[in-house]
Amino acid sequence: EVQLLESGGGLVQPGGSLRLSCAASGFTFSSYAMSWVRQAPGKGLEWVSAISGSGGSTYYADSVKGRFTISRDNSKNTLYLQMNSLRAEDTAVYYCAKLYCSSTSCYGMDVWGQGTTVTVSS
Amino acid sequence: DIQMTQSPSSVSASVGDRVTITCRASQGISSWLAWYQQKPGKAPKLLIYAASSLQSGVPSRFSGSGSGTDFTLTISSLQPEDFATYYCQQANSFPPTFGPGTKVDIK
């Protein structure tokens, strides 16, 4: 069964750091680009970051650029999101998602984890 | 960035009703559009990709259409399990952007 399982969320003070993990199973992890998407309480979906299958290419939303770092360890089938300089507006449920791509194009996100909650508050 | 809008923001409907949700992109995105369903407390689920292609395992009462800037998601006969929030997402260019969502609730 294809599965993604996030961990690492919690309560952190403004300016603090947190590292999220996403453990993948049931598919060839290294063959797929991956993303992080977040959802603030009562709000819609916001794409945060993406990384290619090899890890050689990374992409960020302007709202997190310079503060968040996406990475992956294909030997451990695990995706990461290092979050620094956290702000109250980063409070959200963070989902990891597998990108649904052909050899040339990506169409959306076809597998999602259950989400992990990050709360930034003093 | 490409901005996505959806209408209506919410719709009240009954089981068996036909429901149509519209999504509009701020610039042309060809057919690079996906639709997701999200139930409270759950992760989004991919329903439609490439504007009109049904994701594996998704019931055929869901269909998508459109290209360029205007798209629709149609539920032909609403079922109890379809009450949820629906989001469109453009996959034409980075950053991928989502619409604000359309909540389908019980009339």
> What is the pLDDT confidence band of residue B83, given thresholds at 50, 70 and 90?
very high
Inter-chain residue contact A107 with B91, CB threshold 8 Å: yes
Inter-chain residue contact A112 with B45, CB threshold 8 Å: yes
Cα-based distances in Å from B11 to A115, B35, B72, B106: 27, 17, 14, 8
> What is the pLDDT confidence band of residue A103, given thresholds at 50, 70 and 90?
confident
Say which of B43, B89, B100 has its CB closest to residue A115. B43
Encoded tokens for A73? 């360890």
- Please determine, for residue B80, whether its predicted confidence score (pLDDT) is greater than 90: yes
Mean pLDDT of chain A: 96
Cα-based distances in Å from B89 to A19, A80, A114, B37, B52: 26, 23, 19, 11, 13
- Please determine, for residue A102, whether its predicted confidence score (pLDDT) is greater than 90: no
- Please determine, for residue B88, whether its predicted confidence score (pLDDT) is greater than 90: yes
Report the pLDDT value the prediction gives residue B106, as an integer from 0 to 100: 87
Q: What is the largest CA-CA distance in chain B?
A: 38
pLDDT average, residue stretch A111-116: 98
Q: What is the pLDDT of residues B19-37, one digit of tens each?
A: 999 999 999 999 999 999 9
Inter-chain residue contact B43 with A112, CB threshold 8 Å: yes
Beta bridge partners of B12: B105
- Please determine, for residue B107, whether its predicted confidence score (pLDDT) is greater than 90: no
Mean pLDDT of chain B: 97
Cα-based distances in Å from A47 to A26, A94, B53: 24, 10, 22
Say which of B42, B91, B94 has its CB closest to residue A108. B91
Report the pLDDT value the prediction gives residue A101, as an integer from 0 to 100: 87
Is the pLDDT higher at B107 or at A18?
Answer: A18
Report the pLDDT value the prediction gives residue A81, as an integer from 0 to 100: 98
Chain A, 63 to 102: residues with Cβ < 8 Å from chain B are 95, 100
CA A51, distance to chain mean position in Å, is: 9
pLDDT average, residue stretch B87-103: 96
Does residue B2 belong to the interface with chain A, where contact is any CB pair within 8 Å?
A: no
Peptide bond into B95 cis (omega under 30): yes
Torsion-angle region of residue A42: left (phi > 0), alpha (psi -120 to 50) or beta? Answer: left
Provide φ and ψ at A50, rounded to 5°: -145, 160
Residues of B in contact with A59 (CB under 8 A): 94-95
Report the pLDDT value the prediction gives residue A105, as an integer from 0 to 100: 84
Q: What is the pLDDT of residues A9-18, one digit of tens each?
A: 999 999 999 9
Is the pLDDT higher at A104 or at A110?
Answer: A110
Report the pLDDT value the prediction gives residue B55, as an integer from 0 to 100: 96
Distance CA A76, CA B96 (A): 27
Q: What is the pLDDT of residues A16-65, one digit of tens each?
A: 999 999 999 999 999 999 999 999 999 999 999 999 999 999 999 999 99
Beta bridge partners of B22: B7, B72
